[in-house]
Structure 1
Amino acid sequence: MAVGASEVEDIAVCEAEREPDPSDSLRTFGAVVQALREHAGLSRAEFAELVRFSKHTVESVELGRRMPDESFVERAEEALGNTGALRRAAKFLTRGEAGLAAWFRRWARLERVAVGLCTYECRLVPGLLQSEGYMRALCENDTPPLSDDALEATVQARLERQRLLGERPNTAFDFIVEEAVFMRRLGGLDVTRDLIDHVLEAVAPRNVTLQIMPANAEHHACMAGPIQLLETSDGSWRGYSEGQENGRLIADPKQVSRLHMRYARLRSQALSPKDSVGLLERMRGAL
C-alpha cells in the first residue's frame, strides 16, 4: 500500500498539537464546562481567574484536549453554582482509546505504509522489539499505576503494532539502541533473558538491522535524545519526537535533515550489526 504526499501532509498538519487527541468523554465534559460558564456570563479570562488556572488551560479543557485534575473540577463547581454536574461527569472521563498514546497514533499510521523506519533509543527497548514480558514490566512501572484493563489494552496494542515486522518484509527496519538499555534488568532476570532472546529473533530477518551503541563510546552524535525517522513511498522523510506526556510529528525538511544527519553519524559510531548481535549473545549468556 502506497501513501501519497497529500496523505502525509494530512497527518503532518497537526504537528503543532502537543496535547492528546480528545476523547468523546473529554469533549462532552469540556462542552458542559463551556455551557455553564457562558450561562453564568463569564468570559474564559474571568473564569480562569476564579478557578485559578490559566486561560489556556481553561480553553484546553473546554475543547476536550486536556484532562482536568481534581482541583479544576472542584473550583469549577464552586464557580458555576455547585450543581454537582461536573463532579459526576468527571468520574467518567478517559483520555481516549486505550493502547497506543494518543499523540503517537499519527506516527503509527505512517509506520504502516513506510518503506523505511529508523529508530534510535536511549531510554528503553523500542516498542517493535519488546517482548511481552518486558511490555508488562514497563506498564507495571508506570506512574500513576494503570488499571488492569488499561494495562492489558496497552500490551495488546503494542503486540498488534509489532505485526509490522512480519507483515512488511520489503520495509527496512533499522534500530540503534544503547547498551545500557539491555543492562537494565527491568522486570527481573527472567524477563531480561526472554527480552534478549526475543530481540535476537526479531532482528534475524535480513530487512531488520540492530546496532548497539556501546556504553564506553567516546563519541556520540545523538546526545539530544531519541530519534525516529521514516521514509514514505514517494521518497519523503518524516521525523518523530517524544517526551513525557507528549509527542510530535516533524515535517519541516530542515529539522528532519538535522535528525537524519545525526542518525547517520550515530550509525557509524555504533557497533556493526554482527558485533551487536554478538554482544547481545554474550550478555544473554552472562545472565
Structure 2
Amino acid sequence: MTDEPEPSDSLKAFGEVVKVLRKRAGLTQEEFAPLVQYSVTMVASIEQGRRFPPPAFVERSEVALDGMGVVRAAAKHLSRRRGLASWFRQWAQLEQDAITLQTYECRLIPGLLQTEAYARALFAEQLPPLGDEQIETQLAARLERQELLRQRPNTAYSFILEEHLLLRRTGGVDVTVGMVEHLLELVSLRNIEIQIMPVMREHHAGLGGPMRLLETPENRWFGYCEGQESGQFISDPKVVSMLQMRYARMRSQALSLEDSLSLLRRMRGAI
C-alpha cells in the first residue's frame, strides 16, 4: 500500500458530471442504477465523489446518458486511487466487477477479511514506519474495499487461509479473538466460503506462495500474485489455468467448509 494521494476534487468533479448528465436525461438515481447495473447506493457514492467509479460504470454511464465522450473524458483523470499501491490498482479495478474471486493466503489475513484492529496492527508495525495520516489513509482504502463483500451478494468469494495466520495472534489476543469472530460472521453470508489449511498438513499445492484468481462478467479469468513491494497481474491463459489447477487442489486439501467452521469456533474458545 502507498499514501500516493487521489485528488478528491477530481472524484467530486466526475460525480458532478454524471449527476448533471443524469438529470439532463430526466433520470432519478433509482432509474439510473439499473441502466449501469450498480446499486443506488453505489451511484449515490460516485456522484458524491466518495467512491472510485469502476470501468464498467464509466462505459455504461456514457451509453445510458448519451455522454458524447464527456463521461469517459472525466474518468481519464481518475487513474490514481488514494491508499492503493500502484501495482495493485489494475487488480482492484477488476475486483469491483468480478463474479468469482478466489484467494489463498499464507502470510496474513487477506485485506478483504481484516478487521480494523487487525489492519491497524499491521500498519503500526510496517517498515519504514508510517505516519498517523498515512495509516488512516491506508486503513480507509482497505475498509472501503471490504464493502464489496456485502455490496456484491451475487459474487462468489472463496478464501483458503493457513491455520497459522490465527495462531500467530497478530496484534495480540484481543485482536485475534475479534478476527476469529469476524470470520465466523462472514461465513454466515451465502456468498462467502472460508477454508482453513491445517498446520499439520505436510504438503499442499499452494506452497509456491499466495495467489488470487477472479472471473469477470464476461467469464474471463485473471490471476494475481503479490510479493514485497510488487505485484504480478496475470492474463496469460496458460498461467491462469495452472493457478486454477493449484487452487482446485488446495480446496480438496484444506479442511472442508464444515470442519473449517468447527475449527474457528474451537479457536475462539481457546484463545
1:252 shift after superposition? 0.3
How is 1:4-153 mapped onto 2 (pairs within 5 angstroms)? 98-153=82-137
Cα distance in 2 between the residues matched to 1:215 and 1:200? 20
Please say if residues 195 and 254 of structure 2, whose CA atoms lie closer than 8 Å, have aligned partners that are also in contact.
yes
Using the TM superposition, name which of 248-257 and 98-107 deviates more. Answer: 98-107
1:205 aligned onto 2:197: no
TM-score of the superposition, structure 2-length normalised? 0.70
Taking structure 1 as the reference length, the TM-score comes to: 0.66
For 2:86 and 2:222, locate their aligned partners in 1 and report how far apart those are by CA, in whole Å.
Answer: 18
The structure that has the greater radius of gyration is 1
Aligned length: 197
Question: Paired residue for 1:75?
Answer: none
Task: Tell me if the contact between 1:114 and 1:232 (Cα under 8 Å) persists in the aligned partners.
Answer: yes
CA shift digits 1:74-102 (9 cap, x unpaired): xxxxxxxxxxxxxxxxxxxxxx7641212
Q: For the residues of structure 1 that align with 2:219 and 2:211, how far apart are their CA atoms? A: 19
User: Which of 191, 194, 210 does residue 175 from structure 2 map onto?
Assistant: 191
Of 133, 156, 177 in structure 1, the residue corresponding to residue 161 of structure 2 is 177
- The CA distance in 2 between the partners of 1:236 and 1:228, in whole Å, is 14
| Equivalent in 236, 241, 258 of residue 274 of structure 1 | 258
Asked if structure 1 preserves the Cα contact closer than 8 Å seen for 2:82 and 2:137, the reply is yes
4+ residue segments displaced more than 2 Å: none
Any conservation in 2 of the 1:98–1:150 contact (CA below 8 Å)?
no
Offset from partner CA, 1:168-196 (integer Å, 9 cap, x none): 00000000000000111111111111111
Secondary structure of 1:221's counterpart equals: coil
Give the gaps of 5 or more residues in structure 2: 7-79
Instruction: Identify the structure with bigger relative contact order (alpha carbons < 8 Å, sequence gap 6+).
Output: 1
1:23 and 1:100 mapped to 2: Cα distance?
Answer: 9
Unaligned runs of 5+ in 1: 1-19, 25-95
Task: Report the counterpart of residue 216 of structure 1 in structure 2.
Answer: 200
What is the distance in 2 between the residues matched to 1:106 and 1:185? 31
RMSD of aligned residue pairs (Cα, Å)? 1.8
Alignment-derived partner of residue 35 in structure 1: none
Distance 2:163 2:96 in 1: 28
- CA deviation string 1:189-226 (max 9, x = no partner): 11111111111112211110000000001330011000
Which of 264, 268, 274 does residue 248 from structure 2 map onto? 264
Aligned counterpart, 2:236: 252
Separation of aligned partners in 2, 1:120 and 1:141: 23
Alignment match, 1:163? 147
Secondary structure (helix, strand or coil) at the match of 1:249 reads strand
